[in-house]
Amino acid sequence: MLQSIAKLPLAVALQALSLLFSPASAATITLSIPPSPQIPNPAALPPSTHATLTALGASFLAPLTTDNTFVFRNVTPGSYLGDVHCATHGFAPLRVDVISVTAGDDDKKTGGDGVSLRVWETFRGNDWENKGEEIRPAVVGGAFPVKVLGSKIYYTERGSFNVLSILKNPMILMGLVSLALFIGMPKLVENMDPEMRAEFEEQSKKNPMNSLMSGPQPGSNPMGNFDVAGFLAGQGSGSKEESEPSSGNGGKKAGRVVYVWKFTDLAFGLLFFSSDIND
């Protein structure tokens, strides 16, 4: 975006600056936002994007520069929590350690004189020593790339009315199938040849459900006092005579209980899922 501003001398100059104005053993830390699949063009990030380093009794703030970096100057030794605040994207929190190096124990890491820098990913709500992957500085300039998690979503979609979405509902599908059976069955029976039809009707007389489905048939109603609500509620008032002793009934009940539990599991799962998103 800004070709006029030379990139390499900046880092050099900043180091020189930190030498000029900083107390002894204070570091300059540069975080950078490299182009990534989530942010193909970091230059388009809003100017309010900034990063902070916080620790007990200390906090540093750096605005986003034209080079897509955050430059912290005069950072005293310590272990800092690094956050990148952006209106459009979320970034992983960092652990930034500024370690003052005694003579001899020379580290290769960049920083000011007499300090070494180490940066890890960290996990919120976990032990501070529980570090994630260490982030290595870039070869040129020594900036530590930050990891973008994704873009922020501020809005929820309103559930819109759609005929297709209604048709996708399994309950509606079941209803439609039974409707098709209800309308199509008599037609199908009519088109059968007489022998098969007689056989079918014989069978349907034995099956209480079929008689229910094909409407009240005067005269031929073996299950005239069949209680649908009772059947569904598992009371079995109507089916007491023909159902086997309690074992069968119990089996049915158990099956339904499992079914209910499956529903609750689904609900729990949803609940956890939603809380996972938010926590």
**Which residues between 235 and 254 bind other proteins (CB under 8 A)?**
none
Cβ 136 to other proteins, closest distance in Å?
A: 23
| Tokens standing for residue 268 | 């729990």
Which residue in 125, 117, 124 sits closest to 149, CA to CA?
124
Contact call for residue 191 and other proteins (CB under 8 A):
no
> Which positions from 129 through 158 interact with other proteins, judged by CB under 8 A?
129, 152-158
Of the pair 49, 110, the CB lying nearest other proteins is at: 49
Q: What's the chain's length in residues? A: 279
Which residue among 37, 40, 47, 255 contacts other proteins (CB under 8 A)?
47
Euclidean distance between CA atoms 53 and 61, whole angstroms: 7
Residue pair 186/217 in contact by the 8 Å Cβ criterion? no
68/116 with CB nearer other proteins: 68
Residues 81-120 contacting other proteins, CB under 8 A = 81, 83, 85, 87, 90, 93
Work out which of 61, 172, 181, 192 binds other proteins, going by CB under 8 A. Answer: 61
For residue 50, list its beta bridge partners: 63, 85
Please report whether residue 172 would count as binding other proteins according to CB under 8 A: no
- Based on CB atoms, which residue is closest to other proteins, 244 or 263? 263
81, 54 Cβ separation under 8 angstroms: yes
When asked if residue 274 is in the footprint of other proteins (CB under 8 A), the reply is: yes
Size of the site for other proteins (CB under 8 A): 76
Token digits of residue 214: 């094909």
DSSP β-bridge partners for residue 135: 119
Determine if 21 is a binding residue for other proteins (CB under 8 A).
yes
Asked whether 50 and 36 are in contact (CB, 8 A), the reply is: no
- Interface with other proteins (CB under 8 A), residue from 25, 34, 52, 77: 52
Give residue for tokens 């056989």: 199
Return left, alpha or beta for 142; rule: phi > 0 is left, psi -120 to 50 is alpha, else beta. left
**Residues numbered 252-271 forming contacts with other proteins, rule: CB under 8 A:** 257, 260, 263-264, 267-268, 270-271
